[in-house]
């Protein structure tokens, strides 16, 4: 509830600020109706092709080049109003975005575009009269103002909406967008320069660069999605071989990610730990089927074979280059604080923190799902077992983090059986 109130206060403050800013702007003194219609049409077309951010809550588009160019050509009044009216996307137009979000977007874009143009003029830039040498500093300052306002306001809004720290939103959704802005600045400058010679027809000459820019943005997002699908496909392959593990890998990943988020680790890192959790048992692909699916206890030879799976999985991940140094987390996720784990018998802090996290998540899910040789433990018994072995098998602070997060929300329901090995 407190988070919702904070979001409302922030959003409506921006809306009021943007609305007040627009009241002082008189755009028709600086642009004709035909030119305004052409500019709005192209801005709307750019917004139709917007690309959703990886973790939701926002999007990017090539509209920045057009809107920034408008500021260089016509000044802050036109930039502010076209930012408010010319950037409505289909989700907003069809009512999929709530009124608060719709008005927030109009206001923050009006402020971003308008104040960037104010900065351009304040440092000596003259709208409609571009001089590369004279205006280089003004263009750079205006681009910086636009980026800081646009990315900053949206980052705070999405952070409050999703309940994520601002720094995590920056790492996941916005850090990579800075080059996108930087690459669009020259396109805006070309638009402003051509406008001085051929007027509004200049906009047709930047269509190709805009399409290339959008294509590159989409490819970046697509690569990330392909990466995520690859991770989950590998988990599905394991489950196809060992049906007792169905759902286990995904739950361990979710628990591991939740633990490190609770510890205050950066979202970017938490996401990598979550992916490592999903892949922690990948090495079981190298274990014989009859050993994986054997009911009851394993013989010493079979247990030795099973204990090779962390090393197998680490090698697969290392050669595939999927998680960088994260392959080490998978290799050591069965190490114990007392040195009685495997494959190397590491002790204490020699065990990567991420491996210790996965171990706790793995054990909790193993205890709260049915096994071939026993029924699932209840939640209280599972917590008692974790605490009983804290300090010898598990890191005590991670046990308490696991207990704390499962108090905040219901434990992820057990949906499948597993062998717990």
Task: Decide which of 406 and 373 is more confident.
Answer: 406
Confidence at residue 5, expressed as pLDDT on a 0 to 100 scale: 87
User: In angstroms, rounded to a whole number, what is the distance separating the alpha carbons of residues 312 and 309?
Assistant: 5
| Locus of tokens 């308008």 | 114
Confidence at residue 352, expressed as pLDDT on a 0 to 100 scale: 95
Residue 419, pLDDT above cutoff 70: no
Query: What are the extents of the domains in the chain?
Result: 2-224, 242-408
Q: 208-214 contacts: CB < 8 A, separation 24 or more?
A: 209/65, 210/46, 210/62, 210/65, 210/66, 213/62, 213/65, 213/180, 213/183, 213/184, 213/187, 214/49, 214/51, 214/61, 214/62
Residue 418, pLDDT above cutoff 60: no
- Report for 150-164, 172-186, 208-222, 223-237: range of highest mean pLDDT: 150-164
Q: 386-393 contacts: CB < 8 A, separation 24 or more?
A: 386/360, 391/337, 392/336, 392/337, 392/338, 392/340, 393/336, 393/337, 393/338, 393/340, 393/341, 393/359, 393/363
Question: In 3D, which of 14, 89, 82, 10 has the Cα closest to residue 46?
Answer: 89
Q: What does the pLDDT look like over 224-250, one tens digit per residue? A: 677 777 777 777 777 776 666 668 888
Q: Which CATH code fits 2-224? A: 1.10.1760.20
Confidence at residue 340, expressed as pLDDT on a 0 to 100 scale: 93
Backbone angles phi, psi at 288, to 5 degrees: -60, 145
Question: Partners of 371 in the beta sheet?
Answer: 374
Q: What does pLDDT average to over the chain?
A: 83
In 199-247, which ranges are continuous DSSP H helix?
A: 207-241
* Banded pLDDT at 82 (limits 50, 70, 90): very high
411-420 average pLDDT score: 39
Residue 77, pLDDT above cutoff 80: yes
Confidence at residue 359, expressed as pLDDT on a 0 to 100 scale: 96
Token digits of residue 212: 């290339």
Token digits of residue 395: 């890191």
Cis amide bond preceding 343, omega within 30: yes
Residue 255, pLDDT above cutoff 60: yes
Residue 415, pLDDT above cutoff 50: no
Q: What does the pLDDT look like over 8-34, one tens digit per residue? A: 999 999 999 999 999 988 766 778 888
CA distances from 393 to 148, 315, 351 (A): 47, 24, 11
- Strand (E) or helix (H) holding 59: strand 59-60
* Banded pLDDT at 417 (limits 50, 70, 90): very low
- Least confident range of 40-49, 128-137, 371-380: 371-380
Burial annotation 62-101 (CB, 10 A radius, 16+ → b, else e):
bbbbbbbbbbbbbbbbbbbbbbbbbbbbeebeeeebeeeb
**Could you tell me how far CA 248 lies from the centroid of its own chain?**
24
CA distances from 384 to 85, 256, 387 (A): 59, 19, 5
Q: Which CATH code fits 242-408? A: 1.10.3210.10
């Amino acid at each position: 509830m407190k988070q919702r109130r904070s979001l409302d206060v922030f959003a409506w403050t921006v809306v009021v600020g943007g609305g007040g800013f627009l009241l002082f702007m008189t755009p028709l003194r600086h642009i004709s109706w035909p030119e305004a219609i052409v500019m709005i049409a192209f801005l709307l077309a750019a917004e139709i092709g917007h690309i959703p951010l990886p973790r939701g809550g926002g999007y990017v588009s090539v509209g920045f080049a057009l809107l920034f160019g408008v500021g260089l050509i016509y000044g802050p009044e036109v930039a502010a109003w076209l930012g408010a009216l010319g950037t409505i996307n289909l989700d907003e137009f069809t009512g999929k975005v709530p009124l608060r979000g719709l008005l927030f977007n109009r206001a923050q874009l009006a402020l971003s575009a308008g104040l960037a143009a104010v900065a351009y003029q304040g440092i000596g830039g003259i709208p409609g009269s571009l001089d590369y040498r004279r205006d280089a500093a003004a263009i750079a300052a205006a681009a910086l103002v636009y980026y800081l306002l646009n990315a900053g306001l949206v980052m705070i809004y999405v952070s409050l909406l999703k309940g994520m720290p601002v720094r995590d939103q920056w790492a996941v959704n916005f850090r990579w967008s800075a080059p996108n802005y930087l690459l669009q600045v020259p396109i805006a400058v070309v638009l402003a320069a051509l406008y001085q010679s051929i007027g509004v027809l200049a906009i047709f000459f930047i269509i190709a660069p805009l399409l290339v820019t959008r294509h590159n943005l989409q490819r970046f997002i697509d690569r990330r999605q392909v990466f995520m699908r690859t991770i989950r496909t590998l988990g599905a392959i394991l489950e196809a071989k060992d049906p007792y593990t169905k759902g286990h890998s995904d739950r361990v990943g979710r628990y591991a990610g939740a633990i490190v988020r609770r510890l205050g680790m950066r979202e970017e890192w938490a996401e990598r730990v979550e992916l490592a959790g999903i892949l922690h048992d990948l090495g079981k692909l190298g274990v014989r089927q009859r050993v994986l699916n054997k009911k009851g206890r394993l013989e010493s030879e079979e247990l030795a074979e099973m204990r090779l799976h962390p090393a197998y999985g680490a090698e697969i991940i290392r050669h595939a280059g999927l998680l960088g140094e994260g392959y080490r987390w998978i290799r050591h996720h069965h190490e114990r604080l007392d040195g009685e784990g495997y494959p190397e018998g590491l002790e204490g802090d020699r065990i990567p923190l991420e491996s210790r996290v996965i171990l706790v998540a793995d054990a909790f899910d193993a205890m709260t799902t049915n096994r071939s040789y026993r029924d699932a433990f209840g939640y209280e018994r599972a917590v008692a077992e974790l605490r009983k072995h804290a300090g010898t098998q598990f890191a005590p602070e991670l046990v308490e983090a696991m207990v704390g997060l499962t108090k905040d929300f219901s434990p992820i329901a057990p949906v499948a059986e597993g062998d717990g090995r």
